[in-house]
Chains A and B, each alone.
Chain A
Amino acid sequence: MGNVGLVRALFGTSLAFHIVFATLGVGLPLMIALAEILALRRRDPLYRLMARRWAAFFSVFLGASVASGTIVAIQLQLLWPAFMRLAGQIIALPFAIEVFAFFVEAVFTAVYVYAGERILPGLRILSALLVAIGAGASALLITDVNAFMNTPVGFRLQGGRLVDVHPWRAMLSPSMPTEITHVLVTAYLAAAFALAALTAAAWLRGAPGAQADYRRRELSLTMAVAGVAAVATALTGDASGKFLAAVQPQKFAAAEGLFRTTAGAALNVGGLPDAAAAVTRGGVDIPGLLSWLATGRWTGTVRGLLSFPRAQWPPVGVTHPLFDLMVAVGGLSLVAATLYWLWYWRAVAAPAPPTPPRWLLAGLAAMGPVAMLGIEFGWLFAELARQPWTVTGVMTTAQAATSAPQAGVLFFPFIALYLALAVGAVLAVRTHMRHHPLAAALGTDSGGQEGEGGGGPGAGRIAPPGGTPVMEP
C-alpha cells in the first residue's frame, strides 16, 4: 500500500469508527425528546424513566462521539491538507456553522443531563429538542460538504485558479437535498433499531411484573420511529438513486454493476462485477427494473461504465456488492418494522397484555447491529463510488492526500485508540446498566422521588433480575 493508500486507510478507520457514535448521537436525542414529550402528555413516569436511561447512554456515546469527531475534524487537515486548502476557499461555511451547531448540542446536553432534575418539564423537553436539533444540524452540515464533493458548484476554475467563488451557493449543491435527507433519516433508523435491540435483548432475558409494561412502551416507541424512518429511508433512497442516474450516471453504474449502456436494463441483485472483463457475474437479474428505478420507464436507457474513461472508474468490484448490502439492510428494516406492527395490532386485541414472541424479539435484537452495518455500507459505497475523485472532476484522492510519509506509523496507534474507546464505551454502558437495574429504578420510581441519577441510595437496594450482586464498594 502506497502513502495515499495508508492515508485513506487511516482516515477511513477514523470515520468508520466515528459514524457509529455520530449516528447514535444524532438519533438518540430525538428518541429522548420523544420520550420526554410522551411523559408530559400522557403523565406517564415510565416514559420519563425511559428518557433518563437513554440519556445515560447518550452521554457515554457523546463522549466517544466528541472525541472521535474532534479527531476526524483535525485529521481532515492533517491527512488531506490539499483538499482542505481547496475546501477552505469554497466550502468552509458548513464546517464553521457546524461548530456552533455542535456547541448548541453540547450546551443543552450539559443542561439536560446535569441540570435536568432542577428545571421545569417544559424546559427539559426544550433542552432535549435543542440537543436533537443541534445534533441533526451538525450531521446535515457535514453531509453538505460531502454533497459538495460529489457535485461541486459555486466557483469556476480558470487556469488552475479558483475564481467567482460563491460560498453560500457552494452549500446548495445539486446532490445536497437527496443526500442530507437520506443521511438524516437513516441515522434515526439506525439509532431507533439500536435502542429497540437493547430492549429486545433485555426482554429476552425476562421482564417480570412492571418491567414488561416498561419494555412494551420502550419497544413500541422505538419501533414507531424505526417504522417511519424505514419508509422514509426507502423513499429518500429511491430519490437518491434517481438523482444519481440523472446527474452522476457513472456513480449509478458503479452502484448497479452496469457496464453496457442499456435500454430496458435489468436490475442485478447479488452479482459480482468483474471490471477487467466488464461483466457482472452471478446474482439475480430482474428484467427492466433498473430502467424503471432510474428513469421511471421500463424501457428507459441507463448509461453503463463503458461509456466513461476506464481510468476514472471507481472500484466497481466492491461498490456494487456494498450497494446491494445497503439496500438489503433497508429492506430488512422495513420487514422488521412491518412484522412488529402486524404482531402488535393483533396482540393488542387480546385481553392479556401482550408479550412479543421470542423469534420477534431475537430478530429485533439482531436488527440493532445490522442497521448500523447498513450505515457503514452506505457510507463506504458513497465514498468508494466517487473514486478516483475526492472532489468530482476537480481534485483526485491522490492529489488531496498529504505528502507527509508518517501515515503508516500512525495507523496502529489510532486502531489501538479506537479499540480502547469501543471497549470503554461498551463497559461504561454495561456498568451503568448493572448499577442502575430497571427493577430498582421501577421500584424507587413508584415509591418516591429518588431517581437513578448519581447513584442514589435506591440504585443498589434491589438486586437485578439476573441475580448478579450489585457492586457497591
Chain B
Amino acid sequence: MSDAFAAAGLIWFVIFAYALAGSVDLGATFWRMVFVHGGDREAERIAERYVSALWEAANVFLVLIAVGMVGFFPGASYAYGTVLLLPASAILVLLALRGSFLAFAHAAPHPPRWFWDVAGLTGVLLPALLVSVLPVSEGGFVRQAAGRLSLDLGALLGSPAVYAYAAFGMAASLFISATFLADYARTAGSWAAYRSFRRHAVWTGPVMIAVGVTALFVLPRPAWLVARLYREWPWFAASLVAFALALVALWWPANRGACEGPTTRHAGPSPAAVPSDAGRTRAGGPAPATPTVATPSVQAAAPASDPGVGVGAAAAAAAVPDATPGRPRLAVVLVGIQLALADVGYGIAHSPYLLYPQVRTAAGFSNAAMFSALVWVVVVGLCVLVPGFVWLWRLFVLDPRYTRS
C-alpha cells in the first residue's frame, strides 16, 4: 500500500522535473520566435543557445513518466493508453515536429523564418496540451461501458476548466522560461537580452498565478478534489509566498557593484551601454573573441552564491551593465521552490486516485517483485540522470565559453 504511494511520488517527482526542464525548453522556442519577429538578435541568440544543447536531455524526463507509469502502475498505463489515444497522438505529432526541426535547423546554417514559427508555436501549444491531461485525471471525462474505457471528447472540449488548465500550462511555461533565460542572459553578460526576458517574466508571472488560481479554486472542479485541495492549503499558501518573493527578486534593485567587481558603475539606465554591449557580442560571433575565464564554473552554479562570480569579471570587463533591476538567479530558485510547493500540494490532494474514479493508486499497482526491481533501476538511474543533467547544465548554461561564443 505505502509502496504504491512511494512509487506514485517517484513518478510525480519525474513529472515535476519535466515541468521545470520542459517549461524552459519549450518556452525558449516560443521566446525565440517572438524575438525573431521582433528583431531582438541578442535575446534570440540566448534562447537558441539554451535549446540546442538540452532539448534531447529534457525529453528523457517525458519518456520516463510514461515508462515509470507502465512499470509501477500497469493498470493506469492501460487506462490512460486507451483513453488518451487522440490527445496524446496530437502531443506526439507536435513534439516530433518540434524536436526534429530543431535538429535540422542546427545542421542548416540559415533556416527559413517559418522554421522558428513551427518551433515556437509547438513550444507554446505543447505545455497547454500536456497540462490538459490533469483535468482528465481528475475525473468526469472518462466513460466506462461494457468494461471499455473511452474519452468523452465533447465534454472535455466543452469544459472551461480544461481551457484554464491549458492556459495555465502556457503561462507557466512562458514565465518559467523567461525567468530562467533572464538569468541565463545575465550569466552570458548579455544585458540587452536580460532586459528583454525580464520584461516578459514580470508580466507572465502574474498571469500564470491568476490563471492557476482560477483553474484550481474558482472554476467548478470535482468535489473530491476540491475538498482535498483546500485541506492542503498551506502548500499553496507557501507556494504563493515563494512566487511573491520571486517577483520581488525580479524588481530588486541591482546592487551589481557589490557582486560584480569594481568596474561596475551606478549610472542609471545608461543608453551607451546598450549598443556597445550588442556590438561586442556581434563582433564576437564566429571566432571566439571572448577571453577565456579560468574561474571554474562550479562557483557560478551554486544557487546561493553571489550571481556571476565566475563570469562577472569578464562581463564587467567587456561591457558595463546598466541598472535594470532584478536578481534573476534568486528569482529562478524561488520559482523552482514555488513550483515544487504547488506540485506537492496538488500531488497530495490527487494521490488517492491515478485516474478518478477508475484507477485508485493502491489498486493500479504492479507486483512486489517488479516494484522492488524497478525502484532500484529508477533510483540508480536518477542518480545518473539528475547529476548528468546538472553537469550538462553547467557545461552549456553556466560555462561562459559556451554561452558567450
Contact = CB atoms under 8 A, between A and B. Distances in A.
Of the listed residues B86, B91, B92, the one surrounded by the most CB atoms of chain A closer than 10 A to its CB is: B92
B286 A74 contact: no
Contacts of B385: 100, 103
Interface in A187-240: none
Contacts of A103: 57, 60, 381, 384-385, 388
Contact of B92 (A75, A86, A420, A425): A75
Smallest CB-CB A-B distances: 9 pairs: A63-B103, A88-B74, A92-B71, A81-B81, A428-B104, A77-B81, A67-B96, A100-B381, A431-B108
Nearest to A21: B100
Nearest to B377: A96
A66 B59 contact: yes
A459 B89 CA distance: 40
Given A107-B57, A404-B85, A96 B107 contact: no
A453 B92 CA distance: 31
A96 B82 CA distance: 21
Contacts of A100: 377, 381, 384-385
Interface in B383-405: 384-385, 388-389, 391-392, 395-396, 401-402
A269 to B, nearest CB: 40
Contacts of B304: none
A59 B107 contact: yes
Contacts of A110: 53-54, 56-57, 392, 395-396
Contacts of B66: 73-74, 77
Interface string B63-87: 1101111111111011111111110
Contacts of B395: 110-111, 115
A95 B91 CA distance: 21
B85 A406 contact: yes
Given A74-B66, A85-B75, A107 B103 contact: no
Contacts of A424: 100-101, 104
Interface residues of A, number: 78
A90 B373 CA distance: 11
Contact of A86 (B73, B74, B99, B396): B74
Contact of A106 (B57, B107, B401): B57
Interface of B: 52-54, 56-57, 59-60, 62-64, 66-75, 77-86, 88-89, 91-93, 95-97, 99-110, 148, 150, 286-287, 366-367, 369-370, 373-374, 377-378, 381, 384-385, 388-389, 391-392, 395-396, 401-402
25 contacts: A59-B107, A62-B103, A63-B99, A64-B103, A66-B103, A73-B66, A74-B63, A78-B88, A81-B77, A84-B77, A85-B78, A90-B370, A96-B71, A100-B377, A100-B381, A110-B57, A110-B392, A165-B369, A166-B369, A417-B93, A417-B97, A424-B101, A425-B100, A457-B286, A473-B110
Nearest to A97: B377
Contact of A82 (B53, B60, B78): B78
Given A114-B53, A165-B369, A417-B96, A432 B108 contact: yes
A73 B62 CA distance: 11
A99 interface: yes
A462 interface: no
B96 to A, nearest CB: 4
Given A84-B78, A417-B96, 9 more contacts: A59-B106, A70-B96, A77-B77, A89-B370, A110-B53, A114-B52, A403-B150, A425-B104, A473-B110
A78 B396 contact: no
A99 B64 contact: yes
Contacts of B74: 84-89, 92
A56 interface: yes
Given A70-B92, A97-B381, A102 B60 contact: yes
B118 to A, nearest CB: 10
A40 B81 CA distance: 49
B3 to A, nearest CB: 15
A99 B382 CA distance: 10
B38 to A, nearest CB: 20
A335 interface: no
Contacts of A115: 395-396, 402
A4 B142 CA distance: 22
Contacts of B374: 92-93, 96, 167
Contacts of B402: 114-115, 118
Contact of B369 (A87, A97, A167): A167
Contacts of B97: 67, 417, 420-421
A96 B107 CA distance: 31
B60 A99 contact: yes
Nearest to B106: A59
Contacts of B84: 78
Nearest to A424: B104
Nearest to B148: A403
A457 B148 CA distance: 62
Contacts of A56: 107
A404 B88 CA distance: 13
A459 B62 CA distance: 37
Contact of B82 (A95, A168, A403, A456): A403
Contact of B81 (A66, A84, A95): A84
B301 to A, nearest CB: 16
Contacts of A417: 93, 96-97
